[in-house]
A and B are shown apart, each in its own frame.
Chain A
C-alpha cells in the first residue's frame, strides 16, 4: 500500500524556521496537503495543492513540492504553532493516505 513518510519530530526555537518533509512516490503527480492538529482538536487545513494557503492561515505557513518530496515551512515559528502536522495525498488509484505525522515542538 502507498505510504507517505514524515519525520516523527521537529524542534525549533521561537522565531526560527521549521521545515517538515513528506516523501512519497506519487508526489510528482499528486498534490500534497498539510493539516495541523492541536491536542484534543480536529485537524485544520494549513496548505492545499502543494503551496496554497487557505484564508485565515498565517502567512508564515508555506508549502512546496519537488519530485517525491513535499515540504511544509513555518517561517518564524511561534509557540502557538506547536502541534502535530500531517501531510496527505492520494495514490494512483485514488486511495487517500496520511503521513505518519510530525510533532513540532517550539521552545
Chain B
C-alpha cells in the first residue's frame, strides 16, 4: 500500500534552517511528484511547492521563493524539504503529499516549532 512516512518533530531557533524528509513506499516513486503543504496552528492549508520525482523540476510558492528548496533521492524514494531563515510564523505542521494533478496520499505530518 502507498505510504509516505515523514521525519520527526523539530524545534528550531529563529534564523536557523530545517530539513524534513518524506520516505515513499508502495508505488513507483519517479512516476509522481511530491508537494509540500503546511498548516500553522489553527490555520488553513498552505501549498509550499512541488517537485517532480522524475526529473527534479520544481515549482515553489511565490512567498517562499528563495527560502525553500525541495529535493529528492530516487535511490531511497525519499523527498526532502529545506526551509531556511526560519521565523516564528513558520511554526506549523508540514505535510508531504503524492501529487499527480492532485494529492491522493499524505504523510503523517511533521511539527516544526520555531522559538527562541
Contact = CB atoms under 8 A, between A and B. Distances in A.
A62 B103 CA distance: 18
Given A33-B102, A43-B106, A95-B62, A100 B47 contact: no
B3 interface: no
Interface residues of A, number: 21
A97 B103 contact: no
Contacts of A45: 102-104
A1 interface: yes
A34 to B, nearest CB: 10
B108 A98 contact: no
Contacts of A35: 45, 103
A48 B45 contact: no
A51 to B, nearest CB: 13
Interface of B: 35, 37, 44-47, 50, 59, 61-63, 95, 101-104, 106-109
Closest 3 interchain pairs by CB? Answer: A42-B106, A101-B44, A98-B45
18 contacts: A42-B95, A42-B108, A42-B109, A43-B103, A45-B102, A45-B103, A45-B104, A48-B101, A54-B104, A84-B44, A86-B45, A88-B103, A95-B47, A95-B62, A96-B50, A97-B47, A98-B37, A101-B45
Given A1-B63, A35-B45, A88-B45, 8 more contacts: A31-B101, A42-B106, A42-B107, A43-B37, A84-B44, A86-B45, A94-B59, A100-B44
